[in-house]
Structure 1
Amino acid sequence: MTYINDLGDVGQGDLAAAGGKGVGLGGLIRAGVPVPPGFVLNTAAYAAFVEANHLEAAVQELAALPPQDHEDASERIRALFAGGTMPAAVAAELGAAYVRLGGDTAKGDTAVAVRSSATAEDLATASFAGQQDTYLNVRGAEALAAAVTDCWASLWTARALAYRAREGIGPDTVSLAVVVQRMVEAEAAGVMFTANPANGRRDQIVLSAAWGLGESVVGGTVTPDHAVIEAGTGRVLSRLTADKEVMTVYADHGTREQPVPAARRRQPVLDDPAAAALAGYGTRIAEHFGTPQDIEWARAGGEFFILQSRPITALPEPAADTPETWTVPYPKGLYFRASIVEQLPDPLSPLFADLIDGSVSRSLRALMAEAIGKDVLRAGDVGLPTINGYAYYYYRTSGMWRMMGRSLTAVRALLRGKAHMGVAGWREYSHPRYERVIRDWLAKPAAELSGAELLEGVQALLDAGTVYYTAVQSIIPLAATSEISFGAYYGKFVRREGDPPAQTFLLGYDSEPIRAEKSLYDLAAWARGVPGLAPAILGEPTASLAESQRTGSPPAGFDQALWRQWHPRFQDHLDRFGHAVYNLDFASPVPADDPSALLDTAKFYLRGQGQDPHERQRRSAARREEETSRMIARLGPRRRAAFMRLLRWAQNAAPIREDALADVGLAWPLLRRMLLELGRRLVDAGVIARPADVFWLRHQELQTAVAFGLAAPEAPAVVAITGADRPVRAAAVEERRMLWRGQAKAAVPQMLPESRWMERAFGKMMPAGPPDQAGDTIKGIGASAGRVSAGARVLTGPQDFALMVPGDVLVARITTPAWTPLFAMASAVVTDVGGPLSHSSIVAREYGIPAVLGTGVATQRLASGQRIRVDGDAGTVTIEHPPAPGEP
């Protein structure tokens, strides 16, 4: 049996023998970078030790103990290893290899590093960094053998046991090799990431450097120098030189800490040429392994040595720098993130940004011309421009003054339902017109339309949706006024101590989001009654079910007869409710495109979790009617008449607002299909890589592609246009996505230009609070009463919905009707944007859960898993350190 492998002989296929660290070092040697000489004592040696000392059964039994017993299990396993004897054959090969490395078995004067190399280590999916032990400055064969035995035992540290349990790796599947390398007399050392872990940028290399050995950097005992290098060019983009107080150096055996000489504490460890040279090694290593790497390095005698390299796990997608300055494009005007912008919480995709600006301008000017006069709003007076990617309502100062001069005319037009405003205008004009435009374009199969016709259809559908939303905006203030009026009258002239809040009288009514919830609940209840169907759905991954729903074919292994029953019923639900938007930007899929979020909620109901919405609604309605009867019996004729008139007004208006908002996205499934059809043709033409990349093109680029004939029904398989004539560069899409991700992290001002007078004049009208809140308590608006302490779940959109766990506090920038299924799982709701009359507050009250809305900063200040206290009465969210005693 051979127990020793030379590092240069270890390849990718040797993981089972050499472990992750050994394979990584072998790859570094083949990449042509300087690696200290060494060898691997392979896993056969570990197996021989375990067998010779009869440890297998005891180790496996102890390793299988539950997490609370890991510390005890680890100590007992280490004791077993400490009491074992290394087999003679293993000891002989280890000693001979040490001699070949330069070790003098008599004097023991050659220092080596002894590193654990587990078979489940330095993997692309999980690094297991720091789970096993490393021993430095080991001298002599006897000390080497002892360090090897300690490395073997470290396979069973409590932290390694816990890590493997989380990753689902059984104790009977792991083994350990040991890497032995000649120590480098390092004058400096550190860590190098070949992609920036802060922003995911693959074109940036990040270096950390300190004096002495690298243990001070890895162990966190010193604040190292920090530099960001541009990959390829070696240009230093930024650097921070730290005050390095201590350094790790060799002791007689092992290492020790000592102060850094005063003259070197604030001296850069690496100058620009040295940093560029080291970054060059990083680029070579990343290219060799084909994935970004986390590298440990040392410098001795002016030369660099690479000590190890492992894949970077959990690297975020690349993001540009987060914007901090907010320069307005048109100086003579005011910018607000309100109204339709509330439905656009994220930076806009480029195509949507180009199309929506003109669409909103045309719609508003047409509505105002009909309502208050043709010459009041002029071209350029209003728009929806973007600043750092975010949409703002823009009003030119002169246009705003003209509109304010006609405010009484506008109020009269609103109350009379003029210019298709108000409930009657929505019901009789806006909604039917919207449906008619959709029907007209549905009659034209997208696959048969030319590129120009598809673009025409997209613009027509978006314009119809914008006109519809403009009309809906007239319903929102009517509903808000009715609820505010009733609440004010009830609070001042009717309510006594012990009476319910005003919202009690407005609950228990049907609206489109509630009807959608009941439909999904009923679907799950039906499925539970079909033998075998509920287990089949619960046992299938949600992504697989969503894809099968789209194609119509059942997932592999799914019973055909059961699928024929499930598929059409779920499709009926999607046909009726699948147009609800998570975000008005058409780059975001709607449930009709990707029903994953609805399927997760259906699974929630299939498991028997959540309330029956029919019963909840029945209870709310019963209490509403009971309290109403009690008030009527108590009040005199005049107060009773006023109470009932205001109550009926509020009860009629609130559900209509929800119905109107729920249908804003009626055109979105068709609009997205038409754009994706364009995208598929551009993929065939070699212009973009994926159909969905079409959303990241500029409108002018798309028009150019159509003009070149690249979006015809029979687009060319290969683009003949090259160089500067090519209408679009596919690489531009990735650059724009990267820019978007950086913008998405920004703290977004609600009003621009930022000034005190703007805050005083309009601050209270904005749907989100100021972005500069500090401390553990975040203030917002209490929109649904109650108090809850629970873990936060910060969701950026439907792609995160599967992370929601029953009992979590739902934290989001905003929730639209499409988010309603998550309310069944949530213990409370917190948003950046919203108020007491927004969708979130209405649905939260229906569910009886606390809601704090309009915080402005919740998604930036809170993290998933963080325990928070939501007080819907006070309108506050408090970060708990630690959780309050006795809280659920």
Structure 2
Amino acid sequence: MEQVPVPYEPQHEPGPRPGLVLGLELVGAELLSAVGGKASNLGELLRARLPVPAGFCLTTQAYRRATLGAGLDTVHAGLAAAAPGDLPGLAGLAATARRLVMAADIPADIAEAVREAYAALGTDTPVAVRSSATAEDLPFASFAGQQDTFLNVVGADAVLAAVRQCWASLWTDRAVSYRATQGISPAAVSLAVVVQRMVDAAVAGVLFTANPVTGRRHEAVIDASPGLGEAVVSGAVNPDHFVIDSATRRILERRIGSKAVVIRPFPGGGTERTARSGANQQPCVDDVRLLGLELLGRRAEVHFGAPQDLEWAIDGGGAAWLTQSRPITTLYPLPERREGPERAPVRVGTRVYLCFSLAQGLTRPLTPMGLAGFRLIASSVARAAHFEVPAPLDGPAPYVQAGQRLFFDLTPVVRSAVGRAVVPRVFDVMEARSAAVLRQLFGDPRFSVTSRSPWRLLRHIGPVAARARVPESLLRALFRPEAALRRAERFGERFRAALVVPAGSTAVQRLDHVERILGRELFPVVPNILPLPALGFALLAAAGRLLGPAAAPGALQPVLRGLPNNVTTEMDLALWRLASAIGADAGAAAVFDGAGFDEAVVPDLVRRYRARALPAVVQSGIAGFLGCYGHRAVAEIDLGMPRWSDDPTHILGVLANYLRLEDPGQAPDRQFSKAARDAEAQVERLVTAAGERGRLRAALVRAALKRTRMFAGLRELPKYHIVEAMAAVRGQLQAIGTELAAAGRLTDADDVFFLDLIEVRDGLAGSPLQHLVAERRAAYARELGRRHIPRVLLSDGTEPEALQAGAAGAGTPGVLTGTPASAGTVTGTARVILEPQGARLEPGEILVAPSTDPGWTPLFLTAGGLVMEMGGPNSHGAVVAREYGIPAVVGVPDATSLIVTGQAVTVDGAAGTVVPDRPREAGRLPAGGAPEESAGAR
């Protein structure tokens, strides 16, 4: 029978100096700033009456006193001024800090306090001495393995020496770099030290109370190896691996590792590593103890209220001990829905959620106002389709949020025969990887088809199509295409007129205006415009059928190059024409000298532009461009994101980049014109091929392809109008924010974007909102650091994409595979860009990005090729890449991590492959400058 340990109950006071030393039973979450994350969590485990080895904590007060006057203030200032990606600079400052800490004397009273507390644990008791930083084991950042731990320390003098080394480890290169990328001030961190009795471990390892790979919250994952757990957490062994279903208590998976190394305490102090021989095919922990560990982990999870990553050890008597607990920071948050007074019906069973943010090419979180805006927009869509929406400001029933991003409940679609037939095909051309993940779910019995009739869908779509006169629009486009274009233009003019707010409106009237635009005016854009580009692509497919064998693979794609009537292309070319005008004026061009290299130059240009102090060609040109396109932005579907008219830094940076293009043959306007000529030539070739099978067939192919080229470019127009509306809404919200700030209810006018519409109305009624805004800003800043966003997420936290076997390029080593987006092959130098603001792309470089929206596309003009982690052949990036004639592959998993800036890559836009010319260098930093963390680092 398993021996159940009794939780540690202290038999003594922690010592005469509670400000310096505290028993672990006396610490908890409320003392985080004094004891750090590790000690705080150990204290919480004790409060939950879980088995934790006896010990004490030397507080941050001791660290601060010991290092006071050591000269660390100068180091803090240097680190605060250093760029996160300046690794040599950070390393040099970190080395200086370590040297200063190691040279500082431990004050006598601190040393005495440690000796007394250590003596209370027993004479020459082996202990673990572990760093416990204030910025460690937090819900949003684990800081795993950033500071040092010393095992099997014996004797008071050795403990004091280990304490000093722990203090110094606050300033390791890896810890300094990690904090820099997390945006944590060096002056804000401090270090406590935990001293605990060593467990004489027969076997040890780690336990995750949720599956960190698949996201499943009902699965516990245990890795185990003989001896101390250091062998597992450091990655020194291939441990035994177990997955347990927490609900049924079944062991779902067991994989026996080689366990070739054992780390054990060395007599007298320290540890030794011993190689094991033999196959070691027996598990090192039996099923009874596995289930016992899972139960301890579940108790810890219940106490902390979140899935936990725990370290554990089982001693020679069979007793299990927990030696550390921290949140699993890599789990994506579960979907949740804002519920107002009218609560939505409870959804039964596992649900399927699609990330709408990623489908729009947006990886960053949305501001609270951005989320609030989409709740109202989604409600307007649902009401137009005759769905019941009890509380429009809370969003319709399918709308949920997770990780400050938009998700929609697609369970009814997955369980519908019509939905299965239609929706994945739409995503095939918009976001191909999402389509693959959705199809993967079709075999899951939890999502079996329950609806086979199309009538339920038609009952909701029919009224929307009838109200927008979609059938009439399609017929007009077929037989009077120019008239269809003119009607689309007139709709745009009426739409813009509806966005104007009456002069002299009060703040409350402005807020009513905002809700009217989002709730009524915005959605009709889609059914009034989208049928035209949809028809264009349908006619392209029809032409392919008419051509039959004459339409060789890839023969139709060139028809989509150099498309007219694309507002995004027109915007990019307008910016290029401005750059050409600036380049032709020596005085104007001179103000951009160095802007492509010196980060200080572009902000200075912005300052001079706002002061109207730039040369006339630049000043008037930028003003004219922003007058037409200033409503656009990067991540422009978020109401909280500044428009280019608010902050033209990005536009001035792009102009500086354009001015570096020296080869006239690479000029974007020439490239676009050539693409248009090539497309028209391809149309003539296809018409000629069709003519070999009859004159009527040739005429039909010509008419179809003519309309394809007329209408396909309008694919960008609905979003363009929607963004116009969002810019108008943003302007009204800024005016309201200014009034709230003047009334003392907000600190800054832009704080309004960290509220929702209900809260803004509360503010106008007199409620102070500063504290709420501060919380929201902090949460938003943390989410900005999240890199991995699931395309599809189940309500139990499972990420179906993580369950798919294999990865990109699994069939051919060294080859990354995605979706073909724009034909052509190019070999060039990769430039990994995570955010376009301030980015520099040298002419001819391969742009590697997580995704793109129209705010990125000015960079395309000088790109030699494009690689995207998200997207399909008709996503924004793919459409613009085709029009510019640059090879592009989209939907390449983890491209921004697997490809490094400066690496030579070959992009084959027809085959959908990306081939790095050499393997990624070990130890290189990923894009963004965040230090890579070893899989075993803890």
Give the alignment's TM-score, normalised by structure 2.
0.55
Other structure's SS at 1:127 match: coil
Cα shift readout 1:710-760 (whole Å, capped 9, x = no counterpart):
xxxxxxxxxxxxxxxxxxxxxxxx9975489735668799xxxxxxxxxxx
User: Structure 1 residue 101 and structure 2 residue 188: aligned?
Assistant: no
Taking the TM superposition and a 5 Å limit, the aligned residue runs for 1:127-206 are 127-206=142-221
* Residue correspondence of structure 1 range 315-330 to structure 2 within 5 A: 315-317=331-333
Whether 1:777 and 2:794 are equivalent positions in the alignment is no
1-structure distance, mates of 2:195, 2:46: 15
- Tell me the secondary structure at the aligned position of residue 897 of structure 2: coil
Equivalent in the alignment of 1:308: 324
1:35 to 52, 74, 91: 52
* CA drift at 1:256: 1.5
Cα 1:650/1:418, change in 2 over 3 Å? closer
C-alpha displacement at 1:181, in angstroms?
1.0
In structure 1, the residue matched to 2:567 is: 512
Contact 2:127 2:151 in 1 (8 A): yes
Q: Which residue number corresponds to residue 713 of structure 1?
A: none
Distance 1:483 1:813, change over 3 A: farther
Shift of 1:184: 1.1
Mapped partners of 1:181, 1:263: distance in 2 = 34
Q: Cα deviations across residues 345-382 of structure 1 (Å, max 9, x unaligned)?
A: 4358999x98996599999x99xxx99xxxxxxxxxxx
Q: Is this contact kept in 2: 1:791–1:864, CA < 8 A?
A: no
Deviations along 1:160-199, one digit per CA (max 9) or x if unpaired, are 2333333344444433222111111112211122332213
- Residues 74-130 of structure 1 show CA distances to partners (whole Å, capped at 9, x for unaligned) of 666656655665433223222221121112xxxx3x211111222332233332222
Q: Does 1:299 align with 2:314?
A: yes
Cα distance, 1:160–1:844 mapped onto 2, change above 3 Å: same
Structure 2 CA distance, aligned partners of 1:437 and 1:604? 27
User: How far 1:36 moved relative to its partner?
Assistant: 0.8
Choose the corresponding residue for 1:11, options 4, 10, 28. Answer: 28
Matches within 5 A, 1:6-405: 6-50=23-67, 67-68=87-88, 85-103=105-123, 108=124, 110-231=125-246, 234-252=249-267, 253-259=269-275, 265-271=281-287, 273-300=288-315, 301-317=317-333, 341-343=428-430, 345=432, 346-347=434-435, 358=458
C-alpha distance in 2 between matches for 1:881 and 1:322: 39
Long gaps (5+) in structure 2: 1-16, 336-349, 354-413, 440-446, 500-510, 513-517, 583-590, 592-601, 608-621, 678-697, 727-754, 758-790, 922-926, 928-938
3-state SS, counterpart of residue 863 of structure 1: helix
- Equivalent-residue separation in structure 2 for 1:171 and 1:740 (angstroms): 34
| SS in structure 2 of the partner of residue 156 of structure 1 | coil
Structure 1 spans left out of the alignment, 5+ residues: 372-416, 449-453, 492-501, 540-565, 583-588, 630-644, 673-689, 693-733, 750-768, 795-799
Task: Give me the whole-angstrom Cα distance separating, in 1, the residues matched to 2:660 and 2:827.
Answer: 22
CA contact (8 A) 1:234 1:276 kept: yes
State the distance in 2 between where 1:61 and 1:817 align: 39
Mapping 1:384-783, distance limit 5 Å:
420=476, 422=478, 424-428=479-483, 432=487, 467-476=531-540, 511-517=566-572, 591=637, 603-607=649-653, 608-611=655-658, 656-663=710-717, 737-738=794-795, 742-743=799-800, 773-778=811-816, 780=820, 783=823
Distance 1:235 1:158, change over 3 A: same
Partners of 1:603 and 1:284 in 2: CA distance:
51
> How many residue pairs are counted as aligned between the two chains?
669
Aligned 8 A contact 1:39 1:97 in 2: yes
Does the C-alpha gap of structure 1 residues 614 and 803 become closer, same or farther in structure 2, counting only changes over 3 Å?
closer
Alignment check: 8 A CA contact 1:661 1:817 kept: no
Does the CA-based 8 Å contact 1:213-1:248 persist in structure 2?
yes
Rounded to whole Å, the distance in 1 between the matches of 2:94 and 2:855 is: 49
State the one-letter code of the partner of 1:742: E
Report the residue type matching 2:650 in the other structure.
Answer: F
- Paired residue for 2:935? none
**Using the alignment, how far apart are the partners of 1:804 and 1:207 within structure 2?**
43
Pair 1:741–1:459, CA change in 2 (3 A): farther
Q: What is the Cα deviation at residue 216 of structure 1? A: 0.6
Percent identity between the aligned chains? 29
Cα RMSD of the aligned pairs, angstroms, is 6.6
Alignment partners' CA distance in 1, 2:458 and 2:846: 38
Whole-angstrom distance in 2 between the partners of 1:354 and 1:538? 55
- Cα distance in 1, alignment partners of residues 498 and 79 from structure 2: 65
Looking at structure 1, the residues matched to 292 and 629 of structure 2 have their Cα atoms a distance apart, in angstroms, of 60
Cα distance between partner residues in 2 of 1:873 and 1:627? 16
Separation in 2 of the partners of 1:670 and 1:623? 28
What is the distance in 2 between the residues matched to 1:78 and 1:362? Answer: 70
What TM-score, normalized to structure 1?
0.58
The code of the aligned residue for 2:321 comes to F
CA–CA separation in structure 1 for the residues paired with 2:520 and 2:98: 72
* Letter matched to residue 53 of structure 2: P
Q: Cα distance, 1:153 vs. partner?
A: 2.6
1:858 counterpart SS class: coil
Bigger radius of gyration among the two: 1
For residues 777-817 of structure 1, what are the alpha-carbon distances to aligned partners after superposition, in whole Å with 9 as ceiling and x for unaligned? 357576356532214458xxxxx877987568556899787
SS in 2 for 1:307: strand
Match for residue 843 of structure 1 among 867, 875, 880: 880
Contact 1:245/1:265 (8 A) holds in 2: no
- Give the secondary-structure state (helix, strand or coil) at the position aligned to 1:269: coil
Could you tell me which residue of structure 2 aligns to residue 787 of structure 1? 827
Distance, in Å, in 2 between the alignment partners of 1:775 and 1:467 is 43
Distance 1:813 1:77 in 2: 36
Which residue pairs with 1:878 in the alignment?
A: 915
Deviation at 1:217, TM superposition (A): 0.6
Are positions 1:869 and 2:905 aligned together?
yes
2:45 maps to amino acid: L
| Contact preservation (8 Å) 1:38, 1:101 | yes
Deviations 1:496-551 (A, max 9, x none): xxxxxx9999869664222344678999999xx9xxxx979989xxxxxxxxxxxx
Distance in 2, matches of 1:278 and 1:477, equals 58
Question: Which residue in the other structure is 1:859 paired with?
Answer: 893
Q: How far apart are residue 307 of structure 1 and its match?
A: 0.8
Kindly indicate whether the alpha-carbon contact (under 8 Å) linking 2:38 and 2:133 is maintained by their aligned counterparts in 1. yes
Instruction: Map Cα deviations across residues 543-595 of structure 1 (whole Å, 9 max, x no partner).
Output: xxxxxxxxxxxxxxxxxxxxxxx9999898599x89xxx9xxxxxx9849676
Q: Secondary structure at the match of 2:263?
A: strand
Q: Report the CA distance between 1:878 and its aligned residue.
A: 1.3
SS at match of 2:893: helix
Q: Does the Cα contact within 8 Å between 1:513 and 1:662 map onto a contact in 2?
A: yes
Task: Tell me how far apart the structure 1 counterparts of residues 55 and 812 of structure 2 sit (CA, whole Å).
Answer: 53
CA shift digits 1:671-714 (9 cap, x unpaired): 99xxxxxxxxxxxxxxxxx999xxxxxxxxxxxxxxxxxxxxxx
Paired residues of 1:479 and 1:657 also in contact (CA < 8 A): no
The letter of the residue matching 1:255 is T
Q: Which residue is 1:403 aligned to? A: none
Query: What amino acid is the match of 1:790?
Result: A
Report the Cα distance in structure 2 between the residues aligned to 1:144 and 1:513, rounded to whole angstroms: 65
Distance in 1 between the 2:459 and 2:605 partners?
Answer: 42
